[in-house]
C-alpha cells in the first residue's frame, strides 16, 4: 500500500509523481470531497477553498480528475465506481463526519479493501482518517455534538498506526493542539504534527516525512 498523507495538498502534491512510477497524464484520480460536506460558503473557512485548491493542483499537474460522491454510493456501487482509478484522494474538512459517513452507509470495510492496491492521498482530514483511531479529535473545537452522538465508534481506516495532526504552524488550531497533548495519556496512538509544506509517505511499511 502506498499513502501520501499531507497537511495541505496544494503545497505538496507535486512531490507525488517523484515518489512513484506514475505518469500524471495517464493517472486517474478519484476526488472525494465528502469530508467538506458540513461546511458552507458563509462559514469560517470560506467557500471550501481547500477543496478547490486540491483539485486545481491535481489538474495543474496533469492528472485526470473525476469527482466521486460517497453519498450516492452503496457498497456494491462503490467498488465498481472506484475500480478504474489509480489514486483515491480524500479532501480536508471534518474527519469525524467522514468516518460517520462511512459507518452510516456501511462502506468502511469495502473502502479499505478497494484502496489496498491503489495510491491513497489525503489532505488534512483526509490524512487524519487513515489513523486507527480518531478519538482524540473529539476534543477539537470543530467536533460537532450531533456527529459525536451518531458515531458507532472512533475507528479510522487503520491504514497506518499513527494520527496525522495537520496545519502545525496555524495559530487558529493552537487551542486544539494544546488539548490533544493534554489528553495524550488517554490515547495510545502516536501523533505526527505536520506543517503545510510537509507530507508523510508510506510505502510497504516504510514511513518518511517529506518536505516541499
Averaged pLDDT for residues 78-96: 95
Whether residue 194 has pLDDT greater than 70: yes
**48: number of Cβ within 10 Å:** 19
Distance of CA 107 to the CA centre of its chain: 16
Q: Tens of pLDDT along 147-185?
A: 999 999 999 999 999 999 999 999 988 898 999 999 888
CATH of domain 2-211: 3.40.50.880
- In this prediction, residue 41 carries a pLDDT of 57
> Taking the domains of the chain in order of start, what are their residue ranges?
2-211
pLDDT reported for residue 32: 97
The predicted structure's pLDDT at residue 46: 53
pLDDT band at 195, cuts 50/70/90?
A: very high
Q: What pLDDT shows up at residue 110? A: 92
Give the C-alpha separation, 17 to 181, whole Å.
Answer: 34
100-134 pLDDT, tens digit each = 999 999 999 999 999 999 999 999 999 999 999 99
pLDDT value, residue 138: 92
| pLDDT over threshold 70, residue 45 | no
Using one digit for the tens of pLDDT, what is the confidence trace for 46-74? 568 899 999 999 999 999 999 999 999 99
Percent of the chain with pLDDT over 90: 83
Measured between alpha carbons, how far is 161 from 191 in angstroms, rounded to an integer? 9
Per-chain mean pLDDT for the chain: 93
Where does the pLDDT of residue 39 fall: very low under 50, low under 70, confident under 90, or very high at 90 and above? confident
Total-model pTM: 0.93
Amino acid at each position: 500500500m502506498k499513502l501520501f498523507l499531507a497537511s495541505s495538498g496544494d503545497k505538496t502534491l507535486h512531490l507525488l509523481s517523484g515518489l512513484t512510477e506514475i505518469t500524471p497524464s495517464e493517472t486517474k484520480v478519484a476526488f472525494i470531497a465528502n469530508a467538506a460536506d458540513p461546511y458552507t460558503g458563509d462559514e469560517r473557512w470560506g467557500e471550501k477553498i481547500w477543496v478547490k485548491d486540491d483539485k486545481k493542483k491535481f489538474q495543474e499537474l496533469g492528472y485526470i480528475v473525476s469527482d466521486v460522491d460517497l453519498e450516492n454510493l452503496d457498497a456494491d456501487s462503490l467498488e465498481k465506481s472506484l475500480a478504474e482509478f489509480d489514486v483515491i484522494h480524500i479532501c480536508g474538512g471534518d474527519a469525524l463526519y467522514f468516518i460517520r459517513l462511512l459507518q452510516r452507509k456501511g462502506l468502511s470495510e469495502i473502502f479499505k479493501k478497494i484502496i489496498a492496491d491503489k495510491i491513497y492521498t489525503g489532505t488534512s482530514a483526509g490524512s487524519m482518517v487513515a489513523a486507527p483511531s480518531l478519538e482524540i479529535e473529539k476534543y477539537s473545537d470543530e467536533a460537532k455534538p450531533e456527529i459525536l452522538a451518531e458515531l458507532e465508534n472512533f475507528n479510522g481506516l487503520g491504514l497506518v498506526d499513527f494520527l496525522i495532526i495537520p496545519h502545525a504552524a496555524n495559530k487558529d488550531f493552537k487551542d486544539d493542539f494544546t488539548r490533544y497533548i493534554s489528553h495524550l495519556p488517554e490515547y495510545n496512538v502516536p501523533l505526527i504534527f505536520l506543517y503545510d509544506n510537509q507530507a508523510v509517505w508510506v510505502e510497504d511499511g516504510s514511513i518518511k516525512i517529506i518536505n516541499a
